[in-house]
Amino acid sequence: MTKTMKSRNYSIIGEENQRARERGLIQAEWYTSPVPRQRLRELMKRKDGPAIRDTLIWFISLGVFGVIAYFTWGTWWAIPAFAVYGAVYYCPAQSRWHECSHGTPFKTTWMNEALYQISSFMSLMPATPWRWSHTRHHTDTIIVGSDPEIHQPRPPVWRILILEMFRLLGGPKTFWIIIKRAMGWLSEEEKTYIPTTAYRKIRWESRSYIILYLGVIGLCVYTGSILPAMFVGLPILYGAPFMVFIGISQHLGLHEDVLDHRLNSRTYYAGPVIRFLYWNMNYHIEHHMFPMVPYHALPALHEEMKPDCPPACPSTWAAFKETMVALWRQRHDPSYTVPRNLPSTAQPFKY
């Protein structure tokens, strides 16, 4: 039987923002699992080594698959070659900007910032606006009216979900926003979480993106081929499906407006390739509960938190399937959330 539920305004400057404030959900105290303090300090220790190793492997892999894709251009082999190149380009770019925005992968500050700027450009996630947006996301995770990174309302908008499989909506929209930011424009929502001291940096950052992409377009015109854009720019579109497959499960189908990451975030097990490309973001409950723990320590943190958390989904496919089933059910029952069960050793949920 279909359940009716009043459609909510997911804008962070709408009436839901005031409602969340009245309920004490904004900048609130969140539940944290009881990890021993000394053990947590050990896990939070930053190191340059793992991130340098993984960054070198990423760029070397990108070069190898790029060369293979280049030499297959003009043949049917180019389709699988560029599919692999797109996945290796876009998925790590997404996960690297995300992790480096926290400043945790490297011990050396400039290394974090350098990889953050590079991966932000590669994934078309402008560095400064997304740094502040993601800060708000962690402060008020999936709090309707305050979190700017809730990717789907309830019920979900399937047209957007399908288009974003290839970033056909967000990609062009972001390009247009970058052009407007280069001229000093910011949305009213952005002004609620981006400090005025960052406005100048955003303008120049946007202008640099425009110059770089104009360079790629100019190279395409000069060569009479879209091949240059297939290596820089278009992977944002054709590399997106793999990222959607492994990343859509972070929060969708779970609870809104709770102060317990065990209820609104999803952890799942994945193989070594996906964990490398995704930088262990499959451990998403752990990441949200303790965001200052570097990506390379998340598996160990997972073991510490396991007695206090719902069982992890057994695979990437299982997490994706659980998410899509939940979204499908929310078409007619927007209140539906995936049931979460705790082991007997866990503290009760904080609804």
Instruction: Tell me what pLDDT residue 8 has.
Output: 87
> Rounded mean pLDDT of 196-223?
97
6 pLDDT more than 70: no
Count CA atoms closer than 13 A to 284's CA, side-chain side: 28
How far apart are the C-alpha atoms of 80 and 75, rounded to whole Å?
Answer: 10
Contact status, residue 146 vs residue 256, Cβ threshold 8 Å: no
Q: Which residue has the higher pLDDT, 301 or 8?
A: 301
Pick from 188, 68, 77, 58: which is nearest to 123 by CA?
58
Res 5 pLDDT > 60: no
241 torsion bin: left (phi>0), alpha (psi -120 to 50), beta (else): alpha
So what's the pLDDT on residue 350?
Answer: 84
The pTM of the full predicted model, rounded to 2 decimals, is 0.93
- Of 92, 348, 142, nearest in space to 265 by CA: 142
- Of 120, 228, 205, 123, nearest to 167 by C-alpha is 123
Res 2 pLDDT > 70: no
What is the average pLDDT across 291-309?
A: 97
Q: Indicate whether 70 pLDDT > 70.
A: yes
